[in-house]
Amino acid sequence: MGYALGFLVWLGIAIVAFVAYRAVLGRTPNTVPWVAFMLTLFGTFVGGMLGVAAYVYHDPNPLRFGGILGALLGAALFSGVYYWAARRLV
């Protein structure tokens, strides 16, 4: 049950991060919303998994502090890189 709840929390973090980036940046040219959301979701899960990786021998629960912090940082990093690349490279 803890794993499913942890992944749902990570999904919530991805949704909040996506909405926050869209609210802050507005309608950024050259960005596709579903691609931005998928990259945010991917960053959340990659960051969360990396955050939980330190606890793999003890209790790899996604609701640990490292998992939540990794999910937040991963979502911000992947979203930020996408928006930066969309503005600079295209």
Give tens-digit pLDDT for 27-79: 666 678 888 889 999 999 999 888 888 776 676 677 788 888 889 999 989 98
Does residue 80 register a pLDDT over 90? Answer: no
Decide: pTM greater than 0.75: yes
Rounded to whole angstroms, what are the CA distances from 7 to 11, 52, 81?
A: 6, 12, 23
For the chain, where are the E strands, in sequence order? none
